[in-house]
């Protein structure tokens, strides 16, 4: 079987439930990857034991933070193209062959991402055995990156400065901003070409209303508007005004709740208005009404403070004193 010049890179952390399906889909490809590299974040389940059954190279373990893991993998990759595949994603049998063909015929493409469908384990395994129909692929320029399954030129990642180790959630968004600023060509296909493995309970609930599977910890990590603002300045507000509005709404919600201790009357009125405004924003943006959006906003508001404090400590720790 012919080898490609694509390095498959997979960050893992407690991935035992989905890892075999992911790796089976990779080693079932019609074109072999140049290498399959793993960076583990300190898994406490059977992830590392499972990896022993596959011809993969574990480049590092106990690497904290997905941004740091992706930087380690980028440095270790020897292929000109890096295929990022999350450990809970499966790919069709000719995914690498199709990617290689597109990058060869369209050398201007620096990053190629696609939609990922949400399926249960059984359907994921079945779909991973079905090749991609080339006639269904329609490429277009995009301002988004779907990090769960994409291919990107290694030199472009390095030119953009790699992934920010401070960003613990949304690292692809931060990289996308810097790719945008250096003029990288981002393309995307709206056809699902990879599949996220999700529980049946999650899939059933998504049929009724918007739901994510983020843990409270992840939501706190996702409260990172202040970090983006401190990093990119006022330009970021102009670049992404929606994030700015969402930030204001979540801060309004949090401080209205905290103010009840000091000014219960005015604070209750403010809190009621904040709740209604946040729900209206949820309805406008997500096209549905979800009460859980309020708890999401509260956790992200807490995360804004936590992540700003963490950013200040990090910058002071790594600040180089000029002689």
The pLDDT > 70 percentage for the chain reads 93
Read off the pLDDT band of 319 (50, 70, 90): low
Flag whether pLDDT at 254 surpasses 80. Answer: yes
Flag whether pLDDT at 210 surpasses 50. Answer: no
Structure pTM?
0.86
| CA–CA gap between residue 92 and residue 195 (Å, rounded) | 9
Flag whether pLDDT at 91 surpasses 90. Answer: yes
Q: Residues with Cβ < 8 Å from 136, sequence gap 6 or more?
A: 191
Would you tell me the crossing angle of helices 171-181 and 225-232 to the nearest 10 degrees?
Answer: 20
Flag whether pLDDT at 225 surpasses 90. Answer: yes
Please give the backbone phi and psi of residue 7, each rounded to the nearest 5 degrees, phi first: -95, 120
Flag whether pLDDT at 310 surpasses 70. Answer: yes
The pLDDT value recorded for residue 114 is 86
Q: Tell me where in the chain the CATH 3.90.550.10 domain(s) lie.
A: 6-200
Listed ranges 52-66, 142-156, 181-195; the one with the highest mean pLDDT:
52-66
Flag whether pLDDT at 168 surpasses 50. Answer: yes
Q: Are 186 and 156 in contact (CB under 8 A)?
A: no
The pLDDT value recorded for residue 229 is 94
Read off the pLDDT band of 322 (50, 70, 90): very low
Flag whether pLDDT at 305 surpasses 80. Answer: yes
Q: Report the CATH superfamily, name and number, of domain 6-200.
A: Spore Coat Polysaccharide Biosynthesis Protein SpsA; Chain A (3.90.550.10)
Q: Are 263 and 185 in contact (CB under 8 A)?
A: no
| CA–CA gap between residue 45 and residue 316 (Å, rounded) | 35
Q: Which helix (H) or strand (E) holds 117?
A: strand 111-119
Average pLDDT, stretch 11-18?
94
């Amino acid at each position: 079987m012919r080898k490609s010049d694509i390095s498959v890179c997979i960050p893992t952390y407690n991935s035992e439930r989905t890892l075999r399906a992911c790796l089976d889909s990779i080693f079932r490809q019609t074109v072999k990857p140049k290498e399959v590299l793993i960076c583990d974040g300190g898994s406490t389940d059977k992830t590392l034991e499972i990896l022993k059954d596959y011809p993969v190279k574990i480049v590092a373990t106990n690497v904290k933070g997905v941004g740091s893991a992706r930087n380690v993998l980028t440095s270790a990759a020897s292929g000109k193209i890096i295929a990022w595949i999350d450990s809970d994603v499966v790919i069709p049998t000719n995914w690498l062959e199709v990617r290689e063909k597109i990058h060869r015929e369209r050398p201007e493409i620096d990053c190629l991402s696609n939609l990922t469908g949400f399926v249960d384990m059984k359907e994921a395994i079945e779909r991973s055995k079905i090749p991609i129909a080339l006639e269904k692929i329609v490429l277009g320029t995009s301002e988004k990156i779907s990090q769960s399954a994409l291919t990107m030129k290694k030199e472009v990642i390095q030119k953009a400065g790699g992934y920010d180790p401070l960003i613990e959630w949304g690292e692809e968004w931060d990289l996308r901003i810097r790719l945008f600023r250096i003029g990288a060509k981002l393309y995307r296909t709206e056809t699902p070409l990879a599949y996220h493995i999700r529980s049946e309970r999650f899939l059933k609930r998504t049929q009724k209303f918007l739901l994510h599977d983020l843990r409270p910890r992840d939501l706190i990590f996702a409260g990172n508007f202040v970090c983006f603002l401190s990093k990119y300045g006022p330009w970021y507000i102009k670049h992404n005004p929606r994030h700015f509005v969402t930030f204001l709404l979540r801060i309004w919600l949090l401080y209205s709740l905290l103010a009840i201790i000091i000014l219960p009357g005015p604070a209750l009125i403010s809190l009621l208005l904040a709740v209604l405004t946040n729900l209206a924003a949820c309805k406008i943006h997500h096209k549905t009404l979800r009460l859980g959006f309020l708890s999401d906003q509260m956790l992200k508001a807490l995360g804004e403070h936590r992540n700003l404090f963490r950013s200040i400590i990090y910058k002071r720790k790594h600040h180089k004193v000029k002689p």
